[in-house]
């Protein structure tokens, strides 16, 4: 399975900045001596998706969004339907990111409903799971992540899971290789237990949380790591391109 290196730009980038960043990444990829060994995805804020789509069209780099609503249309002021994202050529949507779970009180059930709507619209959901610092300190990381998988993934889930320990997000404190290996092994076992052997084995599991050019090589070479969901380092073309290169050599 090819790895996926995905950039989550979060709430960063006016359209001119998004355009310049997407152009720099497209150029860096096309000027590299070898084509990328990984699949590539950029997830800008909603307001920059159309701009980034125009830059990336035909480049082989996919684009996506960071959230969507669970309805196809209707009276939902401020929300964006999955079909609207498909309309912009988006292929993926990040769902249940810890920043949405914590700041918007998104529950597993909400994430599951969004997942159903995203798949119905033809989007590939990237469902984020991960324990908080307190939960890890209490030895509850596997319980928490197991419940999030059970609650957030609908029957027939055909998407991607991202393991993002909350304490590693934006802190510069990535999980250790041992922690990543242990949790990815656990996530794989849970996916197989909950979805069945074939479906559970087919789901890529990304790691996210302070991935940078220095730690990407080690993280991406661990078993059961299907790629990376990159926040801060995806806002710098040079860093993102260097992370991509590690996927190539992993």
Active site residues: 97, 164
* CB-CB contact of 108 with 83 (8 Å): no
Q: Is the dihedral of CA 50, 117, 61, 43 positive or negative?
A: positive
H/E stretch holding 244: helix 237-249
Question: Binding marks (x or -) toward ligand 13P, 50..89, rule CB under 6 A?
Answer: ----------------------------------------
* CB-CB contact of 219 with 178 (8 Å): no
Distance of CA 224 to the CA centre of its chain: 15
> Which residue, 227 or 231, has its beta carbon nearer to ligand 13P?
231
Letter string b/e over residues 35-48, b meaning 16 or more CB atoms within 10 A of that residue's CB: ebebbbbbbbbbeb
Among 96, 200, 208, 226, binds ligand 13P (CB under 6 A): 208
Say whether residue 211 binds ligand 13P (CB under 6 A).
yes
Among 25, 41, 129, 229, binds ligand 13P (CB under 6 A): 229
Say whether residue 227 binds ligand 13P (CB under 6 A).
no
- Which among 98, 104, 90, 112 is positioned nearest to 46, based on CA atoms? 90
Among the residue ranges 46-54, 133-141, 164-172, 184-192, the one whose residues contact ligand 13P (CB under 6 A): 164-172
Structure tokens at 127: 């469902």
Say whether residue 122 binds ligand 13P (CB under 6 A).
no
Q: Rounded CA gap, 246 and 146, in Å?
A: 29
CB 169 to ligand 13P: min, Å: 4
> Which residue, 123 or 230, has its beta carbon nearer to ligand 13P?
230
- Which among 18, 119, 25, 11 is positioned nearest to 66, based on CA atoms? 11
Among 39, 131, 141, 164, binds ligand 13P (CB under 6 A): 164
Say whether residue 210 binds ligand 13P (CB under 6 A).
yes
Among the residue ranges 70-78, 139-147, 163-171, 176-184, the one whose residues contact ligand 13P (CB under 6 A): 163-171
CB 170 to ligand 13P: min, Å: 4
Q: Which string of DSSP letters, residue by residue, matches 136-202?
A: HHTT-HHHHHHHHHHHHSPTT--SEEEE--GGGTTSS-PPPHHHHHHHHHHHHHHHHHHH-HHHHHH
> Which residue, 195 or 230, has its beta carbon nearer to ligand 13P?
230
Say whether residue 170 binds ligand 13P (CB under 6 A).
yes
Residues lying near ligand 13P in the complex (CB under 6 A) = 8, 97, 164, 169-170, 208-211, 229-233
């Amino acid at each position: 399975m090819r790895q996926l290196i995905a950039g989550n730009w979060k709430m960063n980038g006016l359209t001119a900045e998004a355009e310049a960043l997407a152009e720099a990444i497209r150029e860096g990829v096309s000027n590299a001596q070898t084509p990328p060994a990984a699949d590539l995805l950029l997830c800008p804020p909603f307001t920059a998706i159309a701009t980034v789509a125009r830059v990336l069209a035909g480049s082989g780099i996919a684009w996506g969004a960071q959230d969507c609503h669970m309805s196809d249309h209707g009276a939902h002021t401020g929300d964006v339907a999955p079909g609207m994202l498909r309309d912009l050529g988006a292929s993926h949507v990040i769902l249940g990111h810890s920043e949405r779970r914590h700041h918007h009180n998104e529950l597993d059930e909400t994430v599951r409903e969004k997942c159903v709507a995203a798949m119905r619209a033809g989007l590939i959901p990237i469902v984020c799971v991960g324990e908080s610092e307190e939960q890890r300190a209490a030895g509850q990381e596997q319980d928490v992540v197991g419940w999030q998988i059970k609650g957030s993934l609908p029957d027939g889930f055909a998407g991607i899971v991202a393991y993002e320990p909350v304490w590693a997000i934006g802190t510069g404190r990535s999980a250790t290789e041992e922690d990543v290996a242990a949790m990815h092994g656990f996530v794989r076992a849970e996916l197989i237990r909950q979805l069945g052997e074939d479906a559970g084995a087919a789901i890529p599991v990304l790691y996210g949380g302070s991935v940078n050019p220095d730690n990407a090589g080690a993280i991406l070479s661990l078993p059961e790591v299907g790629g990376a969901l990159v926040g801060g380092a995806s806002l710098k073309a040079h860093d993102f391109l260097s992370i991509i290169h590690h996927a190539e050599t992993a």
